Amino acid sequence: MSQFYLIFRLILGLLLCSLGSSNTVLVTGGAGFIGYHVSRRLAGLRYEVVVLDSFLSRGVSDDSIRLMRADQLKRIGIIVLKGSVSDPHVIEYVFKHYPNINEVVHCAGHSSINDNNRDPLMGAESSLKSMVSLLDALVKHKDVRLVYMSTSGVYGIHSESPLSTTRSFIRPRDMLATFMLSVEEIVSGYVQEYHLKSAVGLRLFTVYGPWSNTDNIIHSMTQSIANGKTRDISLNLYLKRDLTYIEDVVDGILLALKYTPPFGHEVFNIGTGVGTKLAMAANLIKSDLRANFHNTLEVIKRSPSDVPEEEYADISATSESIGFSPKTKLRNGIRKFVLWWKEYNSYNYHVERNPADESITSKALDESIARRGHEFRERLADLREKYTFYAESHNIPVAKFYRHKTFKFYPDVEAPGTLRTERNTSFEHMKEVCDYMDDCVGFNTKGEIKTILQTSKPWAKGSGLHIANIDVCKAGLHNCFAPRKCVYKGPAVFSCVCGDGYQSIDQNCIEKYSEHRTSNTISDLRLRDILSGLNPHQFMLSDSSTFYCHKGRDSPNGDLLYVPNANKDPSILTKACRMTYRCVGFSTNGLLKKSMKGENKWKESQYDLYTVGSVL
C-alpha cells in the first residue's frame, strides 16, 4: 500500500469524522456485503449507525455469512434492526425512534440477477417498493440526504466501454437492471416533485472484497480454484470487468454523502475505469492460494454471448464532481480477499441466532395502527366539537361533548358497563382513548372502557376505576328514558327522576293534568285509536255520565293522568275526567284512570275509587 494512499484515507477519514460526529446514518441492507462495509466505516468515523435488514433467506451459505456480518456489527456497538424497507410501517417506526437520522445509505433491495429473472414480482417488491417506501418517508424528512446503489447492468449487453452516465440510450440487460433503472427514474421524480434535499445514485460495477456473498464473481472463482474445479469458471475467464475493491466503493459512498447535486439528483459510476480480464484475476487467485494443480486455466468463450464481453466504467464525471479516485490495485485487492477467504474457511465461527437487536415489523404495525387510530379520533373529535357548537348556537338539543377529560382514581372497586377492552392497558393510552370517545365515562386497570355505570347495581370489589370528571347527564351518558330525566350526583353518579310536567307515583312517572293544554299521553292515545280505525268520540264522557263511589277501594294500574291540587275533592276530579279522552274513573289520590281491573282485583285503600257506571 502506497504512502499516498494512506495519506488519502487519513485525510478523508478526518474530514468525514469532523463533519459527521453528530450524525445518525440509516444503512438499509446493512447486513449485506456493501452495507456491512459502509456501516463499519461510518462507525469508525464516530457516526451513530442504524442498520435495517430484512434477513431474507438467500441460501444456507449466504444466510450464514449475513448473520456473521450482523454479529460483527453488533460487536462494535452498531444498532441492528430486523425489518423490511418495503414495509412503510417499518420505515415510519425507524424514523420515529431514531429522529436524528439525517443521512441514508440505501443498499437494500438487491437480490441476484437470477432471482429477479426467475421471480420478477419478488424483484419489484425488493427494488421498486422498497425505494418508494423509503422515498415516502423522506418526503416527511426533507433534510435527509440519500445515497442509493444502482448497477452497471443498466447499460445493457451491446454498450461499448467505457460506459458513461451521459449515454443517451441504454437498454438494461436483465430484470434486476431494469428495476434499478426504474429506481433511478423514480428517485428523480420524487426529488423534482417533493424537493428532497439530496439524492445520489451510484452505478456499481464488479465489486469484490472480504465478506462478499458466495455468488460474487471473485468469491465463486476462489472457491472453484481452491476445489480444483476450474472448468466451472472457464466460460467467464475471457470477460473483461471493472473489478472494484470494496474499500474504494465505500470511499465513493462517503464522498457521495457529502455531495449536493445541482438539481437535487445525480447518478455516478463507481468503478476503477479499467477493464480487467477475469483470467488475470483467476491467475492472481491461483497464485495467492498456492493451488496444488499444474494445469493451465482454460478460457472458453460463450457463443452467442448473453453478457457483455467488455464492461468498465467511465469515472471522469465521478472524479470531477465528488473527488472519487480508486486506490486499490487488483493485485492488493485479490491478496486481501484471499487472505480473508482462508481465515473465513479455517475458523469455526457460527452464529446460532439472529443477532439483530429486535424484529420491528410487528411493533411497527402496532404503532402505525395506534397512530392511525389517534388521527381518526382527533378528526372525529374535531367534527363533534363543530357539530356541538352549531347545535348549541341554533338551540338544538345536543349532548355535551367533553374533549379533554380529567380522571379520578377510585381504588379497589369495579363496575359493570364494559364497552370494549384495549390491548394496551397503560394509563396514558387508556386516557387518550377515553378522552375522544363520546360514550366513555372511565376505565379500569385491565384495559376495559366503561360506558353508562348502572347506579342500580352497586360497585363491587375490584382492581380500581379511573372515572372521568364529567356531568354524565349533560353528556347523555345515562339510562334515564322519557319521561324520566337525569340528575347529576357526581363523577359517573346520577339518578333518574320524573321530568317536568310529570308526577312520581309508586315509582311511575304520571303526566300531570292541565285544563289548558292537551297532554302528550292523551295525544298518543288519540292517534293510536285513529290509526286503529276507532271513532275517538266514543271514548269521551258526556256531562250526564254518572260516577259511582267505592269507599276505601282502588284499582291497580290503568293510571292515565295526575290532577294536582285536587285535594281529594271528587268534584274537581269528576270535571277533569269528563274533559279527558279515554277517562273511565278516578281515585281521590288525584289519579285519572283509563282502565279498570275487575272488582275482585281491587285493593284496600285510604282513598276512594270513582267509576263511570258503564265500566262495571
* 308-348 pLDDT, tens digit each: 788 999 999 999 999 999 999 999 999 999 999 999 888 76
User: CA 55 from chain center: how many Å?
Assistant: 21
**Residue 126 confidence (pLDDT) above 60:** yes
pLDDT value of position 109: 78
Residue 306 has pLDDT above 70, yes or no: no
Three-state SS for 394-432 is CCCCCCCCCCCCCEEEECCEECCCEEEECCCCCHHHHHH
pLDDT of residue 237: 79
The answer to whether the bond into 304 is cis (omega within 30° of 0) is: yes
200 near 147, Cβ under 8 Å? yes
Alpha helices in 141-265 (DSSP H): 175-194, 217-226, 246-257
Q: Is 455 a residue whose pLDDT tops 60?
A: no
Give me the residue label for grid cell 480477499. 337
Percent of the chain at pLDDT > 70 equals 89
Residue 20: its pLDDT value, please? 45
pLDDT > 50? residue 388: yes
Alpha carbons 238 and 33: distance in angstroms, whole number:
26
For residue range 41-61, list pLDDT tens digits in order: 999 999 999 999 998 866 656
Region for residue 559 given its phi and psi (left: phi exceeds 0; alpha: psi -120 to 50; beta: otherwise): beta
546 φ, ψ (degrees, to nearest 5) = -100, 135
Rounded to an integer, the average pLDDT of 65-75 is 92
SS3 content of the chain, % helix, strand, coil (to 5): 40, 20, 40
* pLDDT, tens digit (0-9, with 9 covering 90-100), for 562-576: 999 888 899 999 999
- Model pTM greater than 0.85? no
**Per-residue pLDDT for 374 more than 60?**
yes
Q: What is the pLDDT of residue 8?
A: 53
For the ranges 124-128, 257-261, 283-287, which has the lowest average pLDDT? 124-128
Task: Using alpha carbons, select from 612, 576, 571 the residue that is nearest to residue 591.
Answer: 576
pLDDT band at residue 111 using 50, 70 and 90 as cut-offs: low
SS3 614: helix
Topology given in CATH for the domain delimited by 21-358: Rossmann fold (3.40.50)
Q: What is the DSSP annotation of 245-280?
A: EHHHHHHHHHHHHT---TTSEEEEEES-S--EEHHH
Q: Which stretch of 57-66, 178-187, 474-483, 573-582 has the lowest confidence by average pLDDT?
A: 57-66
Q: Please state, in angstroms and rounded to a whole number, the distance separating the CA atoms of residues 56 and 328.
A: 32
Q: Are 311 and 273 in contact (CB under 8 A)?
A: no
Query: What integer pLDDT is reported at residue 616 of this predicted model?
Result: 47
Residues of the chain with CATH 3.40.50.720: 21-358
Is residue 599 pLDDT above 70, yes or no?
yes
- Confidence label for 1 from pLDDT (cuts 50, 70 and 90): very low
Please compute the mean of the pLDDT values over residues 502-510 and round it to a whole number: 91
The pLDDT assigned to 590 comes to 95
264-291 per-position pLDDT tens digit: 999 999 999 999 999 999 999 999 988 6
The answer to whether 570 and 549 have CB atoms below 8 angstroms apart is yes
Euclidean distance between CA atoms 177 and 299, whole angstroms: 27
Among all chains, which residue has been given the C-alpha cell 463499519?
40
Rounded distance, CA 203 to CA 153, Å? 8
Question: How many CB atoms are located within 10 Å of the residue 35 CB?
Answer: 25
Residue 21 has pLDDT above 50, yes or no: no
Higher pLDDT, 412 or 22: 412
DSSP, collapsed to helix, strand or coil, labels residue 148 as strand
Average pLDDT over every residue of 186-194? 95
Altogether, the residues listed in the chain come to a count of: 616
What are 158-188's pLDDT values in tens digits?
678 899 998 766 788 788 889 999 999 999 9
10 Å Cβ neighbour count for 68? Answer: 18
Contacts of 46 (CB under 8 A, 6+ apart): 17, 20, 21
CB 108: neighbour CB atoms within 10 A? 27
Measuring CA to CA, which residue among 17, 55, 20 is closest to residue 36? 55
Query: How does residue 248 score in pLDDT terms, banded at 50, 70 and 90?
Result: very high
